[in-house]
Amino acid sequence: MTEGFSADRDLRLEFPATYRNREPIAAALARWLPQSGHVLEVASGSGEHAVFFQQCFPGLVWHSSDPDPDHRASIAAWIAHEHLAARMPPPLPLDVSARPWSLGPSLQADLAAIVAINLIHIAPWACCEALFAEAATRLPKEAPLVLYGPFRRNGCHISDSNDAFDRSLRSRSPLWGVRDLEAVEALAAHCGFRAGEVRSMPANNLAIAYRR
Q: Is 5 exposed, middle or buried (0-12, 13-18, 19+ CB in 10 A)?
A: middle
Cβ-defined contacts of 182-187 (< 8 Å, 24+) = 182/153, 182/154, 182/155, 184/120, 184/128, 184/147, 184/151, 184/208, 187/128, 187/129, 187/132
pLDDT at 8: 43
The length of the chain, given as a count of residues: 212
pLDDT of residue 125: 98
100 touches 150 (CB < 8 A)? no
Q: What are phi and psi of 180, to 5 degrees?
A: -75, 125
Task: Let me know the angle formed at the C-alpha of 126 by 124 and 128, rounded to the nearest 5 degrees.
Answer: 90
Compute mean pLDDT per 10 residues along the chain, 212 residues long, and list them.
Answer: 46 92 98 97 98 98 98 97 97 98 93 98 98 98 98 96 98 98 98 97 97 98
Helices (H), the chain: 16-32, 48-56, 69-81, 105-110, 125-138, 160-172, 181-190
**Which H/E stretch holds residue 179?**
strand 179-180
Query: Phi and psi dihedrals of 153, rounded to 5?
Result: -130, 130
Q: What is the pLDDT of residue 9?
A: 55
DSSP state of 108: H
Q: What is the pLDDT of residues 133-146, one digit of tens each?
A: 999 999 999 999 99
CB 48 within 8 A of CB 15: yes
pTM of the entire predicted model: 0.94
SS3 196: coil
